[in-house]
Structure 1
């Protein structure tokens, strides 16, 4: 799977080039266009066609290969995050545009359980090989941290950070409302070495 982007950073579109029989997972409504012969399979809850379809679709290339163009719902950038098979990344749950079968989701990753106290938080851990395509509310900024360097990031702007970075979640105001599901009222402290990716706009804030 190869990814090229266009119309970045304001209205990004990702072209996913697939080899023979290769597949990618993405939301059905993200598909702009595809080469002829690319098929879509949508999951069915409960294994019955009578049940409601739910979750992302699987797009599969025919024998001769093909491509699919994907665009996020909101205006912003698209960003291919490359996995090297060694370093995993924690990624904002609402930022995934496309995921190849070679990149897995580790929902039981111990460090996330420790971070969120066992609750379902606003991040998922991913590992594997290949490009995980992210949808961003604005252009992507990368903070490259040296060993021991510390920064604080608002959860709404966070895109991803690697396993090499140390992370602490804390309340901005201990007496105020907080939610590990959305990041409301919380802050993330990161210590290097490593690179923290953020988006230049918060997708949870209304556009004024």
Structure 2
């Protein structure tokens, strides 16, 4: 699977080029166009459809339902990523959603929280509101990110969840009233709009 992007960072479109028999899972409403012969199947009720390339391969163009960037996030088979829910535009079968994932359960105090964890190899295509900024942290460097702007961060970076105002309203399901503190080294992906 190869990912080509265009019209970024404002109105991103991802062209996913598939070899014969390769497949990608994506929201049916996001399909803008495809080469002839791409087939669609639904693995189970409530799951997004799977688009599969015919003999000779093919492509599918995906456009998110909101303005912003599309960002291919590479997985090397070793390091997983915690990703904001709703940010995934397309997922190959070689990248899996890990649910539940114990470190996220620990971060959120046993709740499901406002992040999903993915691991495997290949490219997870993300759709964001606004351009993506990759904030690269040196060893020992600290930053704070509001959950509404967070896109993803790797397992290799240290993270702590805290209340912005201990007396104010907070929700581990939405991120309201919370902040994430990150310690480098590592890269944190944020979106420029919420």
Question: TM tier, shorter chain?
Answer: over 0.9
**Residue in 2 aligned with 1:33?**
33
Partners of 2:24 and 2:3 in 1: how far apart? Answer: 11
Partners of 1:130 and 1:122 in 2: how far apart? Answer: 23
SS at match of 2:104: helix
Partners of 1:121 and 1:37 in 2: how far apart? Answer: 39
**Residue in 2 aligned with 1:171?**
163
**Residue in 1 aligned with 2:117?**
125
Structure 1 runs of 4+ off > 6 angstroms? Answer: none
| 1:65 matches 2:57 | yes
Return the offset for 1:44: 4.6
| 1:14 matches 2:18 | no
Please list every run of 5 or more consecutive structure 2 residues that lacks an aligned counterpart in the other structure. Answer: none
Q: 2:145 aligns with which of 153, 158, 162?
A: 153
Partners of 2:26 and 2:68 in 1: how far apart? Answer: 17
SS at match of 2:20: coil
Let me know the Cα RMSD of the aligned residues.
Answer: 0.9
Q: Number of residues paired by the alignment?
A: 194
Q: 1:104 aligns with which of 85, 92, 96?
A: 96
CA deviation profile, 1:7-65 (whole Å, cap 9, x unmatched): 000000000000111100000000000000001113453xxxxxxxx331110111211
Q: 1:116 aligns with which of 102, 108, 120?
A: 108
SS at match of 2:86: helix
Tell me the TM-score normalized by structure 2: 0.98
Please list every run of 5 or more consecutive structure 1 residues that lacks an aligned counterpart in the other structure. Answer: 46-53, 203-208
Partners of 1:75 and 1:198 in 2: how far apart? Answer: 15
Tell me the TM-score normalized by structure 1: 0.91
**Residue in 1 aligned with 2:180?**
188
